[in-house]
Amino acid sequence: MKPTTVIGFLGSTLDAAKFGPSRWNKWRPTVSICMQEDLRVDRFVLIHGSYHRRLAEFVMQDIRDVSPETEVVPHVMDFEDAWDFEEVYGKLLDFAREFEFDPDAHDYLIHITTGTHVAQICLFLLTEARYLPGKLLQTQPHKGAPQPIGTWASIDLDLSRYDSIASRFAEASAESTSFLKSGIETRNAAFNRMIEEIEQVAVRSRAPILLMGPTGAGKSQLARKVYELKKLRHQVEGPFVEVNCATLKGDSAMSALFGHKKGAFTGAVQDRPGLLKSADKGLLFLDEIGELGLDEQAMILRAIEEGRFLPVGADTEAKSEFQLIAGTNRNLLDEVAAGNFREDLFARLNLWTFALPGLAERREDIEPNLDYELERFAEREGTRVTFNKEARDRYLAFAESPSARWQGNFRDLAASVTRMATLCPTGRIDREAVDFETGRLARLWSGDKAEIGVLTDLLGKDRVGAIDPFDRVQLEYVFDVCRHSASLSDAGRTLFAASREQRTSTNDSDRLRKYLAKFGLDWGAVTQ
């Protein structure tokens, strides 16, 4: 066994006792260490102040009496203020640097039961940082009748040696990664490793994060989950602010991002704080950051690095402390080479870069995401819809096959589930519904104009963007029925087949005409 050295403070209160035999009935932590049957102390470095020299000599003599083999080494350390953290830590650090440690030949125990709370904290920190290369030593009296010996325990700050603590850390980390994945039990090993790394970065760093990947790969959802995780850990106080940079064009981009002062330009009738200011103390997600102009990129860079920026028309700078997550479906290296993206901004964003794979690269994750989308539909619409076994197997066989291109990634899958669930009045998706949907997806991916951009062709991109996703799915289905019906009345009978049986008078063509009119359409426009 290697010889053991204990380093600890003299307890000016706990170690004090009246002279005489009665003192051996009292628990004194420093003396009790040398009375333990299962702990051999070869050397005891006793730290004390000049004011307590007499008490120190008294305690050292008692140690020699109970443990003659223990060498007691007094070390005087005076503090002007024993509760001043900076002073106590500095002097203990000097002590640790000057002490001749030899961890290969000696074991060291750092006693943290005595001394002020500040001293105990400093001893802990110095041991954790390995300036004091040993284990922590805790002592305590026996419960009940007073006994002088008490108990002791050593604490190794290498937590990996504590199975129960290590398992708790592993469980907490697993819960965080599951949270980032919205509870979806994903199976793709590379994706799971990436999420584990993002979890560590999210809770340990405030540096910008860059999420790269195709449209629909889940960048926005992941950014929001990172924010919610940091919120749970009390690492952010402010809001989550999401900005689609593709919508910021021209002069309005500067105003939207950085705000403006009243009168800065025509139409600026009042002050506007801007999105960066709104994200103060929170998290700013700049989606499609590659769409920003070079001027906006320069100001974003300064805001990231200094937390300051100049609103449009302002004489004084505004301040905002936020964490940034940027998203892009572009290759920013190529954009830098082409002169479309600032090299210094890319360098600032590129510390933590994660490339999210598309759904086609994660086919083994389609099944758990299918269940997730069904749950989302149930929460959103208040109706639970399920597959029958044959239909589920049939859909998954198609979805996981190489022919399924999933060009829109998870947006395609979400829309597909929404269509099947919406058009299944019985709450059970059957084989016929699956065949209809997989045929539609196949035509969509094959480039059939009847499926691609039909809403955009009829309504225009801006109007389609203003329609809720749920209404778009319904409207697409109405268009499909109309294109395959002989007349307006025929299409109405198909679309309102269930409700028409419950009414005494029916005018399905009029109902369909009014529905189309809500979107500025008529029968001729839909069927041309």
pLDDT tens readout for residues 262-276: 877 777 778 888 899
What's the pLDDT tens digit per position in 136-155? 999 999 876 557 888 999 98
Residue 403 belongs to a domain with what CATH number? Answer: 1.10.8
Q: Of 326, 355, 384, which marks where a domain is finished?
A: 355
Please give the backbone phi and psi of residue 206, each rounded to the nearest 5 degrees, phi first: -110, 10
pLDDT over 90, % of the chain: 58
Q: What is the DSSP string of 489-523?
A: HHHHHHHTTTGGGG-SS--HHHHHHHHHHTTT--H
pLDDT at residue 465 tops 90:
no
467 plus 491 within the same structural domain: yes
Kindly report which listed range (16-25, 72-81, 192-201) carries the lowest average pLDDT score.
Answer: 16-25
249, part of any domain = yes
Per the structure, the count of domains in the chain is 4
Same domain, 225 and 322: yes
CA-nearest of 286, 62, 418, 53 to 299 is 286
Same domain, 71 and 144: yes
Task: Tell me the pLDDT band of 184, cut-offs 50, 70 and 90.
Answer: confident
Q: Is residue 360 part of a domain?
A: no
* Rounded Cα–Cα distance for residues 187 and 366 (Å): 9
* Rounded CA separation 16/29 (Å): 10
Q: Is the pLDDT of residue 441 over 80?
A: yes
Same domain, 180 and 307: yes
Does residue 242 share a domain with residue 351?
A: yes
Q: 420, 443, 466 — which closes off a domain?
A: 443
Q: Say whether pLDDT at 324 is over 70.
A: yes
HSE (CB half, 13 Å, CA atoms) of 512? Answer: 26
Its domain, for residue 318, covers 172-355
The pLDDT of residue 308 is: 92
* pLDDT value for 449: 47
Per-residue pLDDT at 510 exceeds 80? yes
Both 272 and 314 in one domain: the answer is: yes
**pLDDT value for 152:** 93
**In the structure, what pLDDT confidence band is assigned to residue 450 with cuts at 50, 70 and 90?**
very low
Q: What is the pLDDT of residues 51-109, one digit of tens each?
A: 999 999 999 999 999 999 999 999 999 999 999 999 999 999 999 999 999 988 999 99
Q: Is residue 361 in a domain? A: no
Q: Which of 40-44, 254-258, 263-267 has the lowest mean pLDDT?
A: 263-267
Q: Please tell me whether residues 437 and 378 are part of one structural domain.
A: yes
Q: Are residues 374 and 341 in the same domain?
A: no
37 falls within a domain: yes
**Which residues make Cβ contacts (< 8 Å) with residue 13, sequence separation at least 6?**
none
List CB contacts of 322: < 8 A, sequence separation 6 or more.
238, 241, 276, 279, 280, 281, 282, 283, 284
Asked if residue 363 belongs to a domain, the reply is no
Per mean pLDDT, which range of 260-264, 326-330, 445-449 is the poorest?
Answer: 445-449
pLDDT tens profile 371-400: 999 999 999 888 899 999 999 999 999 999
Assess whether 46 and 97 both reside in one domain. yes
In angstroms, the CA 504 to CA 497 distance is 14
